[in-house]
């Protein structure tokens, strides 16, 4: 039976921010991290999906959930049970209160930015490949939503109270969140990225690498990952001068990913053509399945390694349209991408482009669903099966992740987890 890692916590009353003058419990320390600000616009973050909460745009409960997630990524527990017990001791559970309190003080409420579907009049410079889920969002009446409100320019102070002897691991989680995470929706593609120039203290790519290799444990005794982990993860960091141009860097970075995911060629000349034939093997595998009733020996679905579900769209009302899901314990479910793509600010002049592949457990299997018809993929078609990552010389790689790193940048990725323990 699997243990579901959740971020379920109680929220403080909405109309107040708890006083920073409260009495501190003996053995606890309070720290104020000042000047955290949005680098890229924030999508969602409220109680409703993709909605902005104007009364409380940055929620303490949400931040606590992010910190718990990043805290887990550098734990080297032997199994999920050991992780659960260790997590309960610090972060609490339904039976025990958390020893960490998180409070937010908004110093700049920011400004709303409206995003309108299918228009070039948007004031945002968001990468289209990041916000495409907005184009398929429906309201409670089943109608497509035509406009969303995002937020940019928010700044806040973060008040943390924690056991004095747990400072280092808690602050490691905070720094990982600021570096790799964000706030709101679509943070794994760079939305809601954060910067705190007075606190992180990184001035170069080399300083970031040195710190990561210092705090991430050297190995995972459990072997195969049981939860998303930085231990054994792979990382590309590309340092760039950014000044005020971080949005342009972000768009270019995501555009690299879009070209990789949607690479097409003219089937007659073999030249790159955005309207041509996909070089990925999944479309042909789907055609073979629904024409012959079986997947065939060449079936392969490498893009399932980048997160699920995936909608394969052959055209409006095309009977081949279907969706790829993962399943565990016989239940089809969403599987968050283990790949994080974003641009982080180091200081006023330097940024780093990030491609991080977390060492995450894969689904037990993959399944194609077309209306009420479900077809489980054979193991030979799984993303990490022993095959070339894709057809076509441009996209070759030893596995889907190696191919991704090659497509994103020329620099080889580093493996995380060569340093000491936190």
Q: What is the pLDDT of residues 238-249, one digit of tens each?
A: 999 887 689 999
Taking 90 as the threshold, does the pLDDT of residue 297 lie above it? no
The pLDDT value recorded for residue 383 is 93
DSSP track, 296-336:
-TT---GGGGG-B-EEE--STT-TT-EEEEEEETTEEE-B-
Pick from 213, 128, 166, 159: nearest CA to 19: 159
Pick from 162, 141, 136: nearest CA to 68: 162
What is the domain partition of the chain in residue ranges? 28-117+150-200, 250-415
The pLDDT value recorded for residue 236 is 97
- What CA–CA distance (Å, rounded) separates 356 from 363? 19
Higher pLDDT, residue 234 or 78: 234
Taking 90 as the threshold, does the pLDDT of residue 168 lie above it? yes
Q: Which fold is adopted by the domain 28-117+150-200? A: Alpha-Beta Plaits (3.30.70)
Confidence band for 119, pLDDT divided at 50, 70 and 90: low
Mean per-residue pLDDT for 260-265? 87
Higher pLDDT, residue 44 or 393: 44
> Which residue, chain included where needed, has tokens 């579901």?
4
Taking 70 as the threshold, does the pLDDT of residue 229 lie above it? yes
Average pLDDT in the chain: 84
| Lowest-confidence segment of 28-42, 282-296, 321-335 by average pLDDT | 321-335
Mean per-residue pLDDT for 395-402? 76
Taking 50 as the threshold, does the pLDDT of residue 208 lie above it? yes
């Amino acid at each position: 039976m699997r243990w579901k890692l959740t971020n379920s916590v109680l929220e403080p009353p909405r109309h107040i921010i708890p006083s920073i003058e409260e009495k501190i419990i003996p053995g606890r320390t309070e720290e104020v991290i000042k000047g955290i600000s949005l680098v890229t616009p924030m999508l969602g973050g409220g109680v409703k999906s993709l909605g902005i909460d104007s009364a409380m745009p940055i929620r303490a409960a949400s931040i606590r959930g992010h910190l718990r997630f990043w805290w887990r990524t550098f734990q080297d527990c032997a199994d999920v049970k050991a992780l659960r017990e260790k997590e309960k001791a610090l972060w609490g559970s339904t039976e025990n209160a958390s020893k960490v309190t998180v409070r937010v003080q908004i110093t700049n409420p920011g400004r709303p930015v409206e995003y309108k579907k299918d228009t070039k009049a948007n004031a945002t410079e968001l990468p289209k490949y990041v916000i495409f889920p907005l184009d398929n969002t429906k309201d409670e009446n089943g109608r497509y939503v035509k406009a969303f409100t995002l937020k940019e320019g928010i700044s806040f102070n973060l008040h943390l109270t924690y056991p004095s002897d747990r400072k280092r691991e808690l602050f490691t989680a905070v720094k990982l969140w600021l570096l790799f995470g964000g706030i709101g929706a679509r943070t794994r593609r760079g939305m809601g990225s954060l910067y705190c120039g007075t606190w992180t203290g990184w001035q170069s790519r080399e300083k970031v690498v040195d710190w990561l290799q210092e705090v991430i444990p050297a190995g995972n005794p459990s072997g195969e990952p049981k939860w998303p982990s930085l231990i054994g993860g792979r990382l590309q960091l590309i340092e760039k001068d950014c000044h005020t141009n971080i949005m342009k860097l972000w768009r270019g970075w995501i555009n690299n990913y879009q070209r990789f995911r949607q690479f097409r060629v003219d089937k007659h000349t073999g030249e790159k053509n955005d309207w041509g034939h996909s070089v990925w093997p999944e479309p042909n595998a789907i055609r073979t399945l629904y024409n012959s009733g079986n997947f065939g020996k060449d079936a392969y679905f490498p893009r399932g390694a980048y997160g699920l579900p995936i909608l394969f769209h052959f055209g409006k009302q095309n009977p081949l349209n279907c969706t790829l899901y993962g399943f565990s314990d016989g239940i089809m479910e969403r599987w968050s991408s283990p790949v994080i793509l974003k641009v982080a600010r180091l200081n006023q002049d330097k940024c780093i482009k990030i491609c991080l592949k977390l060492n995450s457990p894969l689904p037990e299997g993959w399944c194609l669903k077309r209306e009420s018809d479900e077809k489980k993929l054979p193991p030979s078609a799984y993303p990490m099966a022993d095959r070339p990552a894709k057809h076509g010389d441009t996209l070759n790689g030893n596995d889907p992740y190696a191919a991704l790193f090659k497509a994103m940048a020329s620099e080889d990725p580093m493996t995380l987890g060569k340093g000491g323990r936190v």
